[in-house]
């Protein structure tokens, strides 16, 4: 699938959306309508909002107490929308149609670890879906590996705070 990433330009720190060639590339696994929604609504909103709040923060003075307070108030919004952008970028990066090697169940070490931890892929899907259903509003579920112990687990986060600090991420679900 020729889904292009959203590029970050470090010079002005703004994010710029790039086009997605084929929303229907993952059908029938994921409908083109859903992919278009994730790209044109969700991801676009995160990018535009991140840019908007970042620009507001950049315009504030570091010598004014009220500006510093405004900067502090903007930071959670920047984190939220920046996290949404990164999460969606991971989403695009990690999906591929069957003709490009996608659609296969995890194999080798990951497949073994899923079997050892959950009993199998279908059981993992049930756990992930149940955890996603438990999130009020929107949020994300991640299958992560603890780098110290090697254990895997499903973590859920309301809204879009980035979960990468926990370790490697293999599977992402969004609600």
Which residues make up the interface to Fe ion (CB under 5 A)? Answer: 38, 42
Q: How far is the CB of 108 from Fe ion (least distance, A)?
A: 29
- Residue closer to Fe ion by CB (options 59, 94) is 94
SS3 167: strand
Please, which residue, 57 or 128, has the CB nearer to Fe ion?
A: 128
Measured from the CB of residue 91, what is the shortest distance to Fe ion in angstroms?
7
Closer CB to Fe ion, residue 36 or residue 116? 36
Which positions ≥6 away from 29 have C-beta within 8 Å?
103
CA–CA separation, 172 and 50 (whole Å)? 21
Q: Tell the smallest beta-carbon distance from residue 18 to Fe ion (Å).
A: 16
Q: Minimal distance in Å, beta carbon 42 to Fe ion? A: 3
Q: How far apart are CA 34 and CA 79, in angstroms?
A: 25
* C-beta of 50 vs 118, nearer to Fe ion: 50
By beta-carbon proximity to Fe ion, the closer residue of 34 and 73 is 34
Between vectors from CA 139 to CA 138 and to CA 143, what angle results, nearest 5°?
155
Q: Shortest Cβ contact with Fe ion: which residue?
A: 42
Q: Which of 48, 55, 57, 75 is nearest to 161 (CA)?
A: 75
Give the Cα separation of 103 and 99 in Å (integer). Answer: 9
Q: How far is the CB of 88 from Fe ion (least distance, A)?
A: 6
């Amino acid at each position: 699938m020729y889904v292009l990433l959203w590029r970050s330009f470090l010079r002005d720190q703004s994010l710029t959306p790039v086009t997605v060639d084929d929303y229907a590339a993952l059908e029938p696994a994921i409908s083109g309508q859903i992919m278009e929604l994730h790209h044109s609504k969700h991801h676009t909103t995160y990018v535009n909002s991140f840019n908007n709040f970042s620009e507001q923060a950049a315009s504030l003075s570091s010598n004014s107490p009220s500006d510093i307070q405004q900067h502090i108030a903007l930071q959670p919004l920047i984190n939220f929308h920046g996290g949404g952008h990164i999460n969606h970028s991971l989403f695009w990066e990690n999906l591929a149609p069957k003709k490009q090697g996608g659609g296969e169940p995890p194999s080798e070490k990951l497949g073994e670890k899923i079997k050892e931890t959950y009993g199998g892929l279908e059981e993992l899907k049930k756990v992930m879906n149940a955890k996603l259903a438990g999130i009020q509003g929107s949020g994300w579920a991640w299958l992560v590996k603890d780098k110290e112990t090697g254990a895997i687990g499903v973590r859920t986060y309301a809204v879009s705070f980035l979960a990468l600090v926990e370790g490697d991420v293999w599977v992402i679900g969004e609600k």
